Structure 1
């Protein structure tokens, strides 16, 4: 059994749910008193917050969506620059950050001093679980300080006790210079930036396994959970651990991360945010059981600045475990895609990231795949789904054979037919800081 940062991580999940059930009425009362947005919504929904005392009753409350947030911030009152769900005066805000804006106009989130303490507590649990020790030197590779994975991350890492080197935001050459001048134990950045550096640094004449980095922690989208990608990072960097984490600024910056078994991310928001798994189509709750799939929904339990209620994250996950030898008792998940990226093939839900993961295991193909959607509103497919896959420049296999194997592998593993087109690696731009697109709408 491994070490945990806080003993609540070993409490039974049912005990955690009971604790959340005790806290939910207080948060609902706070929303009813301080959030103009939820005051209006409770009236529209005919919800009497004083009558909600159980999780089952709580689950009858409608969801809040990203579009609700954007509408809130489209033309906000002067005294509420973060929107009508801003529940404290602006002078009480301690930090304002934003989303990356990769799925639409950026949204902004506020944190009070109390909110920051909650975030730091949860993120310290997450980073500790992911293998970051208080005596580590952490090379922090993200350069976007305003986003969730920027300033909040290196604040929490610093509170954990780590020596944080905020080296992101400049060229690969500059980052490499920092990693050689200031030898670090861990590199934390987005998954695709890890992969970008894996491709780019050897081009500069350096061998990755000659660097002092032995721990790679990534986030920002699905990727490290793919065995091919994880193995590539282990091999190229000579790493001792390769783990992923996940969170969101709407709720808590990082609240999921992998332990030493690297078979799914544990939840670390116990006592600070309630998490649900729902069927995206029906909205019904799905139990956290091994093999269950659904969209993650969150409710902060003590957020003051910009609190949300039953917020649909858009992250579609599969439960990989409910008990772990590491001693943690929270569910473990693998994020397998974005609910809004889902396409439908002959009535079956398909995630582009799942297609990418299958293609990456085909000999002669690399793990950079895009699903090509011919029109913006195209969701349903009866004919094979068009994809672009990257031909491995070192393969001696015939392109037609690689394409045939891609078709067979996707059909066998996902029960879906695709129409692959192989392209050269130079035709696929791999973003430095954000997970590469896996769906392209024409």
Structure 2
């Protein structure tokens, strides 16, 4: 099986889909008997659960959304603190975590002991693929223990066998001291936090971050590392041999995707536990995982007990970068290109802020930082050029007006969108420990 963590990662994808089909019927039966939410939905949808007996039949089932989860948790009681979505008794719960709440009111997810063990299995696959090894000392830089990338990741890394250092949540100075004092091999935190440290740590250290002992940077919590300029920037600044991206969601499993040593897209790692589909976000129709295809990820957990889901729309819009890989893993590879709740509309065309950032990062004289500036938080539609805050490289000797003109031309050429670039200081684009905002309200 090569260097894969589990043999299932290298089994033919057609075989994986047959396995998922075998597991689906049992999960549907569980939903029909144990989930008040889905019993009501099956009646509302006029669907006999017994008819959902294949992956093809699954495509006819309506989606579950984040708003459905929130609505469930508006009406709770002591017996079901997670609402009708809770399918296991509270005394069977082994962990409860929550979403970050960055796109609305936080929602809570429950795990039984069996759920938690399955999460650990998938997380270990992801971390191993991303280049983390049992002998590594991992500096754990995420401080929010209750979010999916907090305690679940910490436990998964510990189960992998790593020496995990819980250095997040304190001061930057304390985090940097832990890296130095304990000779950390790996720094795991959000992509935004990695970039924040690149820019701010040298002032505290008295030297550049490339003198730290770290060799591996693993980032999550939002797209970014897949951008070649950002990956190159991080690798050079930290003198890192490995810069990789991972992704998941607390509603399903905290980590489901991770980059291998090819660093050209994240492999899927939920085999045997979660079925994944790719849909057109506008029509809802399923589209195959084929290189170059774009769509929104939809998940159906296959053995979830506490808070199960059926065809859950993740909101993550991705591009398929491949279906084969020299590493031997057979699952699709993707890059996240944005979220449906971040999507803007320019003259009827969809555009993601992350796509705008990625294009302007290729402009000679601009740094890979950008933010859409909107007059109010509800502004989504644009007929006029989209205001975009950009950062001119202070070391560039190019004329700023020429740089701005190139940014306008490059975005127009690649995305068919017009922008209104507004040069700004790097300090005006806030990078944080958790997620950086790609859309901000005008001051």
Corresponding residue for residue 271 of structure 2: 270
> Aligned residue for 2:380?
379
- Does structure 2 conserve the Cα–Cα contact (< 8 Å) formed by 1:198 and 1:233? yes
Q: 1:231-287: per-residue Cα shift (whole Å, max 9, x none)?
A: 001101111110000001100011100000000000000000000000000000010
Q: Distance in 1 between matches of 2:87 and 2:195?
A: 40
Q: Is the CA contact (8 Å cut-off) linking 2:279 and 2:296 kept in structure 1?
A: yes
Distance 1:59 1:215 in 2: 40
| Pairing 1:288–2:289 present | yes
Counterpart in the other structure of 2:88: 88
Asked if 2 retains the 8 angstrom alpha-carbon contact of 1:77 and 1:84, the reply is no
Residues of 2 paired with 1:11 and 1:356: CA distance?
37
Q: For 1:344 and 1:176, locate their aligned partners in 2 and report how far apart those are by CA, in whole Å.
A: 41
Q: TM-score, normalised by structure 1?
A: 0.98
Structure 2 matches for 1:322-337, cutoff 5 A? 322-337=323-338
CA distance in 2, matches of 1:97, 1:138: 22
Q: How does 1:98-113 map to 2 (within 5 A)?
A: 98-113=98-113
1:152 is the counterpart of 2:171: no
User: What does the per-residue CA deviation read over 1:203-228, in whole Å, with 9 as the maximum and x for residues that have no partner?
Assistant: 12132121110001100010000000
Spell out the pairing of 1:20-419 with structure 2 (5 A cutoff).
Answer: 20-204=20-204, 205-419=206-420
Q: Aligned partners of 1:133 and 1:412: how far apart in 2?
A: 43
Instruction: Measure the CA separation in 1 of the matches of 2:23 and 2:194.
Output: 39
Q: CA separation in 1, counterparts of 2:185 and 2:364?
A: 33
Q: How do residues 416-431 of structure 1 correspond to structure 2 at under 5 angstroms? A: 416-431=417-432
1:395 Cα offset (Å): 2.7
Could you say what secondary structure the match of 1:94 adopts? Answer: strand
> Aligned partners of 2:147, 2:306: CA distance in 1, in Å?
17
Distance of 2:361 and 2:117 partners within structure 1: 40
Q: Per-residue deviation at 1:441?
A: 4.8
Distance 2:383 2:81 in 1: 45
Taking the aligned partners of 1:71 and 1:24, their CA distance within structure 2 comes to 25
Contact persistence 1:385–1:417 (CA under 8 A): yes
- For the residues of structure 2 that align with 1:276 and 1:361, how far apart are their CA atoms? 32
TM-score, structure 2 length as denominator? 0.97
Number of residue pairs aligned between Structure 1 and Structure 2: 441
Greater Cα offset, 339-348 or 212-221: 339-348
- Residue 146 of structure 1, CA deviation: 0.8
Once the two structures are TM-superposed, the CA of residue 175 in structure 1 deviates from its matched residue by: 0.4
**Structure 2 unaligned residues grouped into runs of 5+:** none
Superposed CA offset, 1:138-171 (max 9, x none): 1111011111001110111111111111111111
Q: Given that residues 142 and 434 in structure 2 are in contact (C-alpha distance below 8 angstroms), is that contact kept between their aligned partners in structure 1?
A: no
